[in-house]
A and B are shown apart, each in its own frame.
Chain A
Amino acid sequence: MKHIKTINGKTLNRDVKKAGCGECQTSCQSACKTSCTVANQKCEKK
């Protein structure tokens, strides 16, 4: 494309049916104990 550069594709809605295994780390157990930051957590399956 000439006018638009896509730097990330459809990443949220893939594997919807496999989502929610729950093995990932709890966000407040990492480096934030007062502000919720979830999107920087890792997926345990990846």
Chain B
Amino acid sequence: MIHAYRMHGTNLVLDVSSGAVHVFDDAAFRVLECFGQDGRLDEKKFSKLKEEMPEREIREALDEIRSLISEGLLFSEDPYEEFLPQWTRNTVVKALCLHIAHDCNLRCRYCFAGAGEYLGERSLMSLEVGKKAIDFLIENSGNRRNLEVDFFGGEPLMNFDVVKGIVGYARSREQDSGKRFRFTITTNILLLNKDKRDFINEHMDNVVLSIDGRREVNDAMRQRLDGTGCYDRILPLAKAMVEERGHQNYYVRGTFTRDNLDFGEDVLHLADLGFEQISVEPVVASAESGLDIREEDIPRACAEYERLAKIYAERRADGRWFNFFHFMLDLEGGPCIAKRLRGCGSGTEYLAVTPEGDLYPCHQFAGQPEFLLGSVFTGFSGNPVREEFYCSNVYEKPECRECWAKYYCSGGCAANAWKFNQDIKKTYRIGCELEKKRIECALWIKAQESR
């Protein structure tokens, strides 16, 4: 399978199974259009092309295309499915998302967590639950050495003493367990004072700072309980945090909705503020919210990604470098194919823990009774739904099997699939379309940067 597209005057061709990426000139691109996805030349199309293009040019391009095919760089076969059983064997838990607080000091209008409560009561995780979660992770991680713990919420800074206690406990268990913990925290920044920043900088491998971009965009969504926006409060704190971290290992992270489909301006605003690690994602919201990205929004959102990609490439070339998480693509050193087939690992390698110690497939499933997988106190309950997550891979999803982007999005988000289709093996179409556009942009940027 190949994916051939044209963007900002560049013809790009991705050979899906090998990962090879090529830039074609117009002549070669036209010849390629005479090939079917099976790699065979359509003689009818080819005869027509011969009437329109010089024969020498066609012959040269055809020779080059056939050379790539023979080298396994074009129309290559998918050899991976037979390896799946060996990659799904011995799956262990390696990452927990700890819901330190099911409470929040903001009332973001798009919040999937229901103002921090998820589907339950407001509550804070106790240190006892946190320690049990660490024990659970160690016990269920087999021979895996690197373990990850994300402090999430609600707002984790509302229960920061417990965060500190959990970090201390996990560190105290590293030697006897032979594990290495990596901590991350996702915060709305409001309570990020110097003491907390110092602790985070000393102990956390990554920090995700929530800010949506332009003041008016941020403040229309990210509001305090009294309805006031938080931009002016959080911006200096975020800047201090990043400065004190040496501009390393952080992301400023925003959400865009159908109210700001010009979200590229928010990405650029964050870059203009001096942030170099930026993530701005489409909202996942229900239609009732009025904020959800809809079918009719797809063309505009995709055009905005393309516009942003062009400015992004220009800025990176002229000394105003920044990194946009969703255009990041490490073609050489990215994840192995086993990870690409299986995706985020929700429900298997990755679990969320509520303040009460209940286990769910990921943070987005928290509070949904049918997805309760057990507890850090009593272990897995045997809920058969976990088997569905074990079997989740790009070959199990009909739409993914036929999709050129499957080794880049890895089958998409199970929580989104459930939210929109009530089936984790179906895909969330709007999310897919935006993800495909981001990958196209990322490949285009690679092509510009390889010149």
Contact = CB atoms under 8 A, between A and B. Distances in A.
A40 to B, nearest CB: 4
A34 to B, nearest CB: 5
A7 B337 CA distance: 19
Contacts, number: 224
Contact of A19 (B336, B416, B438): B336
B408 A39 contact: yes
Q: On chain B, which size bracket covers the interface?
A: 35 or more
Nearest to A11: B19
Contact of A10 (B19, B23, B97): B19
A interface secondary structure, majority: loop
Interface in A20-46: 20-44, 46
Contact of A29 (B17, B64, B350, B435): B350
B334 A42 contact: yes
Contacts of A36: 343-344, 409-413, 416, 435
Contacts of A26: 94-95, 148, 344-345, 349-350
Given A2-B60, A27-B344, A40-B325, A7 B338 contact: no
A1 B61 CA distance: 9
A13 B339 CA distance: 13
Contacts of A31: 206, 208, 251, 253, 277, 279, 325
A19 B19 CA distance: 15
A26 B141 CA distance: 13
Given A20-B87, A26-B94, A35-B413, A6 B73 contact: yes
Given A19-B337, A28-B346, A3 B87 contact: no
Contact of A25 (B22, B145, B148): B148
Contacts of A7: 21-23, 331, 446-447, 450
A22 B340 contact: no
B339 A24 contact: yes
A10 to B, nearest CB: 4
A39 to B, nearest CB: 4
Interface in B19-72: 19-25, 27-28, 57, 60-61, 64-65, 67-68, 72
A19 B350 contact: no
B160 interface: no
Interface in B55-113: 57, 60-61, 64-65, 67-68, 72-73, 76, 79-80, 83, 86-87, 91-92, 94-95, 97, 112
B271 interface: no
19 contacts: A4-B22, A4-B23, A4-B24, A4-B64, A10-B72, A20-B336, A20-B339, A24-B339, A25-B146, A27-B343, A28-B363, A29-B184, A31-B253, A34-B255, A34-B413, A35-B434, A38-B335, A39-B334, A40-B330
Given A6-B73, A23-B145, A38-B410, 10 more contacts: A2-B60, A11-B18, A24-B336, A25-B146, A25-B148, A34-B282, A36-B343, A36-B344, A39-B409, A42-B334
Interface of A: 1-13, 15-44, 46
Interface of B: 17-25, 27-28, 57, 60-61, 64-65, 67-68, 72-73, 76, 79-80, 83, 86-87, 91-92, 94-95, 97, 112, 144-146, 148, 150, 152, 182, 184, 186, 206, 208, 251, 253, 255, 277, 279, 281-284, 325-326, 328-340, 343-346, 349-350, 362-364, 407-413, 416, 431, 434-435, 438-439, 442, 446-447, 450
